Amino acid sequence: MKDLFWHKGLRKKLVSTVKAKGITDINVLHAMYALPRHYFMEKAFEEHAYEDKAFPIESGQTISQPYTVAYQTQLLNIKKRDKVLEIGTGSGYQAAILSLLGARVYTIERHHKLHLKSKKLLYAMGLKGIRFFFKDGYKGLAEFAPFDKIIVTAAAPEIPKSLLNQLATGGHLVIPVGDVTQTMMRITKNADGTFHTEHFEKFKFVPFLDGLEK
């Protein structure tokens, strides 16, 4: 794996594109510039790695569109040392962005192959503070709760109660909710234990599924 001059050039353009679409968080834009996305994709797609598009990865899954990653990350409002739970490790790209922002990341994947592959890649890249779990993410990770932030990167038919229960006070859950298309939602836990819900743009994600796959 090499990160060459032309990769960096294309990455700079990608960051401008994402910025032009409305992403303003400078830390998110910096992380996106720093992270070689082509490491997370199959060799055949290398020249497309810096297009603002989702691409197929193993096990019939996708690496999310950069704009979507930036959008969800911006909504999370990551602070250094935040404890963040991600459901849907996939390629590991989103987890890597969170790690670059200084978060302590707990990421869950239900596909065994993807879980192993992304774990290996992120260790090889020397990214720090990421723990990988091969699990069904629907129930979250009660043994490590509460989390300052929770991000779901697959389409959820509804908001899982178990995830709300694992939010710290003041914490955000960012989740795409819906069947055919999804509305990005951000749920914040108030000090009195109630929740505040905000609705954002529409997206299209792969489905949130039950159970595990070897």
Stretch that binds ligand SAH, among 4-12, 109-117, 142-150, 165-173 (CB under 6 A): 109-117
- Alpha-carbon distance of 205 to 90, in angstroms, equals 12
Stretch that binds ligand SAH, among 11-19, 30-38, 106-114, 122-130 (CB under 6 A): 106-114
Near ligand SAH by CB under 6 A: residue from 91, 99, 166, 182: 91
Residue 149, token pair as written in the block: 């932030």
CB of 6: closest distance to ligand SAH in angstroms?
23
Annotation marks residue 16 as catalytic: no
> In this structure, are residues 98 and 73 in contact, taking their beta carbons and an 8 Å threshold?
yes
Near ligand SAH by CB under 6 A: residue from 73, 94, 99, 166: 94
Helix ranges restricted to H, the chain = 5-20, 26-34, 66-76, 93-100, 112-124, 161-165
Residues 34-73 that bind ligand SAH (CB under 6 A): 61-64
The torsion of the CA quartet 125, 60, 8, 71, rounded to 10 degrees, works out to -100
> In this structure, are residues 116 and 137 in contact, taking their beta carbons and an 8 Å threshold?
no
Active-site residue among 16, 59, 64, 118? Answer: 64
What mask of x and - would describe binding to ligand SAH in positions 152 to 181, judged by CB under 6 A?
A: -xx---------------------------
**Residues 6 or more apart from 134 whose CB is under 8 A from it?**
108, 109, 110, 112, 115, 116, 212
The secondary structure element, H or E, covering residue 207 is none
Residues that bind ligand SAH (CB under 6 A): 61-64, 87-88, 90-91, 93-94, 108-111, 114, 136-138, 153-154, 206, 208-209
Residues with active-site annotation: 64
